[in-house]
Structure 1
């Protein structure tokens, strides 16, 4: 099974909000972009909430997202997994990103939003126990097309929380 490595965070030092996934899927890894799967709702939803143009090229969307004070990363920096499903991650292969260094470099972050249950579970298990108590975290519904029990409208309504 291949060892997969994630991406560096999209962030600027003035970030106030961190959004975390679990680990990039196959389409994202192939494209070298967060949430590159064409049916993943992340960019359409986040752009709608933040008033960004989702049709902009990836680099421009990422830049504007970061300029607004948002950071994007994953709980895992590496793992072994066949395909894209979080359920297929080999638990013994998980390498958690260095959150102590990340939060030290981004002292203004006060909120963390987790994109789905897997990200929230991993964060709760591996990061939250050492988290500064002033940082609040909340699980949001996954924007993945695998989360078909939530409509786009319901996901969009839940994700409004990131702009509050």
Structure 2
């Protein structure tokens, strides 16, 4: 496998009603191909979002399988999505190989929305957020937004079941953020 320089390829998802920001590292090859977040079929991000945010009494309130259905679900529930890295050098989809980082600018999203909490998903996303993104936010006067690391939803993090991950997200997330779509 050779090093590849990758550009993110698609922009963040958010609107002025977004309240929570989930941050990955860099979109995977499958996600870049689909032009949307967490599109690898074995990534567990979307099943977790459905378990945490969907109104289970409303059969129409589901994440779906297409990028458009997932986009609508996220926005309906106050969820913003972006990655810590705008471009980098990487080996395949290996987050641990990321180098030569150009960080994403989170400022416009924060200023243009109601985001009150940032949740990096995975240890590498948390590390990159702390090293690159948070200092930029601090320099823009936006450094007081809490950031709580969450576990990776990647199929590479197979030691945890889907139920384990749902429980870990629920335990670590602010209860007010879990009701973001209901206020």
Alignment TM-score, normalising by the size of structure 2: 0.81
Moved over 6 A (4+): none
The answer to whether structure 1 residue 95 and structure 2 residue 102 are counterparts is yes
Q: Deviations over 1:12-38 (max 9, x none)?
A: 112111110000111111222211111
Q: Is the 8 A contact 2:63 2:73 kept in 1?
A: no
Q: Aligned-pair distance for 1:84?
A: 0.2
- The superposition leaves residues 77-118 of structure 1 with CA deviations (integer Å, 9 ceiling, x where unpaired) of 1112120010121x2x21101122222222x21100111000
Instruction: Give the secondary-structure state (helix, strand or coil) at the position aligned to 2:147.
Output: strand
SS at 1:54's partner residue? coil
Aligned-partner SS, 1:128: helix
For residues 28 and 143 of structure 2, the distance between their equivalents in structure 1, rounded to whole angstroms, comes to: 31
- d(CA) in 2 for partners of 1:28 and 1:46? 17
Classify 1:28/1:133 alpha carbon distance in 2 versus 1 (closer, same or farther; 3 Å).
closer
Aligned residues: 161
Verify the 8 A CA contact 1:12 1:67 in the aligned structure 2.
Answer: no
Question: Which 5+ residue runs of structure 2 have no aligned equivalent?
Answer: 55-60
Q: Is the 8 A contact 1:48 1:54 kept in 2?
A: no
Q: Secondary structure at the match of 2:148?
A: strand
Is 1:70 the counterpart of 2:79? The answer is yes
Q: How far does residue 133 in structure 1 lie from its aligned partner after superposition?
A: 4.6
Question: 1 CA distance for matches of 2:130 and 2:78?
Answer: 23
Partner of 1:9: 12
In structure 1, C-alpha distance between the alignment counterparts of 2:11 and 2:70, rounded to whole Å: 16
**Root mean square deviation, CA, Å:** 1.6
Whether 2:64 is the aligned partner of 1:55: answer yes
2:128 alignment counterpart:
122
Equivalent residue, structure 2, for 1:41: 44
- Which secondary structure state, in structure 1, belongs to the residue aligned with residue 6 of structure 2? strand
Highest Rg: 1 or 2? 2
Gaps of 5+ in 1: none
TM-score in terms of structure 1 length: 0.90
